[in-house]
């Protein structure tokens, strides 16, 4: 039998046995396996803490496909959310088969708008399902032109509080002297409208988890300010407002939240993305992105943990992300 000790003159050498090489190889494999398992466990833990969000899209006079894609990217980039999308079938014969599982999500983002074609609607069973979902505590985010939609749907009007409606359709809210909210009765004033888009200064009206630590005024980019937003205006708090410099020269709500049953609803005129626009300034605005992330988190949980970024806009200067920050969608 060979000895591991070999003598060569006055020196004795230890010959490495094969099992030592095997041991070191196995040790490296075990360490690598532990690291892989740790990484997978961490990834699953992050997935478990991500807030599940569902975007509903499928029709709009705005670019709903790009709006959905950019919204999904903004939310998932925050590492707070996992986002799925459910698209209303374009074939009306399949509408009755379409019923998203709202209860699987903490927040639903509504990104459909039928103002250009009143024949486009959700099937009634989906309408009822959303009503139940929000009444029972589900969160709802009304994304820009989604508040133009569904004037036929009474409970939707209650959920959104205010929207793009005719002169006779509910109360309009205006901000008067001393930041007082003025209720304009149905039939008085005008129907909802807007002037040209511009860089508007957003004024905080009511403190809220969504705008915690915000400056009292901040400038957003290339936005629409809705004049005479109308609706039931019940169980509603206006969060912010802006001066409509391009049309009425008056102050109108920009963001508001609604309590509908146990559910929390966020609604805003922010977030315009027109057909043919490629990642417009309105979506590149740091203030808009921060507000979207915080509003979705609040709708889901009632609290906000997402921090105020250092590059948040001021009253005098807007703050934009680079187009290069967005993926090539």
The answer to whether 71 and 109 have CB atoms below 8 angstroms apart is yes
Can you give the CATH number for the domain in which 295 is found? 3.40.50.880
From the number of C-beta atoms within 10 Å of its C-beta (0-12, 13-18, 19+), residue 123 rates as middle
Task: Provide the 8-state DSSP code for 239.
Answer: E
Report if residue 21 sits inside a domain: no
Element (H, E) at 266: strand 263-268
Report if residue 18 sits inside a domain: no
∠ CA(284), CA(285), CA(290), 5° rounding? Answer: 110
Give the whole-angstrom CA distance, residue 149 versus residue 62: 12
Report if residue 128 sits inside a domain: yes
Q: Please report the pLDDT score of residue 41 as a whole number.
A: 47
Asked if the model's pLDDT at residue 127 lies above 50, the reply is: yes
Report if residue 68 sits inside a domain: yes
Q: Please report the pLDDT score of residue 328 as a whole number.
A: 74
Summarize pLDDT for 267-303 with one digit per residue, the tens. 999 999 999 898 999 999 999 999 999 999 999 999 9
Q: Please report the pLDDT score of residue 43 as a whole number.
A: 46
The answer to whether 200 and 239 have CB atoms below 8 angstroms apart is no
Q: Is the Cα torsion angle 118, 124, 126, 128 positive or negative in sign? A: positive
Report if residue 321 sits inside a domain: yes
Report if residue 23 sits inside a domain: no
**Band (68; pLDDT cuts 50, 70, 90):** very high
Report if residue 17 sits inside a domain: no
Phi and psi, residue 294, nearest 5°: -65, -40
Q: Please report the pLDDT score of residue 26 as a whole number.
A: 66
Structural domain count of the chain:
1
Which structural domain, as residue segments, surrounds residue 242?
51-325
Give the whole-angstrom CA distance, residue 285 versus residue 195: 20
Task: Provide the 8-state DSSP code for 97.
Answer: G
Report if residue 160 sits inside a domain: yes
- Average pLDDT of the segment spanning 18-27: 62
């Amino acid at each position: 039998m060979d000895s591991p000790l070999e003598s060569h003159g006055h020196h004795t050498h230890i010959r490495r046995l094969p099992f030592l090489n095997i041991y070191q190889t196995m040790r490296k494999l075990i360490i690598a396996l532990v690291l892989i398992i740790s990484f997978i466990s961490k990834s699953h833990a992050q997935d478990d803490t991500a807030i599940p969000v569902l975007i509903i899209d499928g029709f709009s006079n705005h670019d709903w496909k790009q709006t959905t894609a950019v919204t999904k990217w903004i939310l998932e980039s925050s590492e707070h959310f996992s986002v799925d999308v459910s698209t209303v079938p374009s074939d009306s014969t399949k509408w009755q088969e379409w019923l998203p599982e709202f209860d699987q999500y903490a927040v639903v983002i509504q990104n459909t708008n039928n103002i250009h074609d009143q024949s486009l609607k959700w099937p009634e069973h989906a309408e009822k399902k959303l009503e139940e979902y929000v009444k029972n505590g589900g969160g709802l985010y009304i994304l820009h032109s989604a508040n133009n939609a569904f004037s036929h749907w009474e409970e939707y009007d209650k959920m959104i509080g205010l929207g793009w409606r005719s002169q006779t359709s509910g109360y309009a809210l205006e901000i008067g002297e001393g930041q007082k909210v003025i209720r304009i009765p149905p039939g008085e004033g005008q129907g909802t409208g807007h002037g040209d888009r511009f860089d508007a200064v957003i004024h905080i009206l009511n403190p809220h988890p969504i705008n915690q630590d915000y400056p009292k005024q901040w400038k957003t980019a290339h936005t629409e300010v809705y004049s005479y937003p109308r609706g039931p205006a019940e169980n509603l708090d206006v969060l912010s407002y802006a001066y409509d410099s391009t049309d009425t020269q008056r102050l109108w709500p920009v963001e508001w939240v609604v309590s509908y049953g146990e559910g929390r609803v966020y609604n805003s005129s922010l977030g315009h993305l027109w057909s043919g626009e490629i990642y417009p300034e309105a979506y590149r605005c740091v203030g808009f992105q921060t507000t979207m992330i915080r509003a979705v988190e609040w709708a889901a949980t009632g609290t906000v943990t997402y921090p105020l970024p250092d590059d948040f806009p001021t009253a005098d200067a807007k703050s934009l992300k680079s187009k290069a920050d967005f993926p090539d969608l």
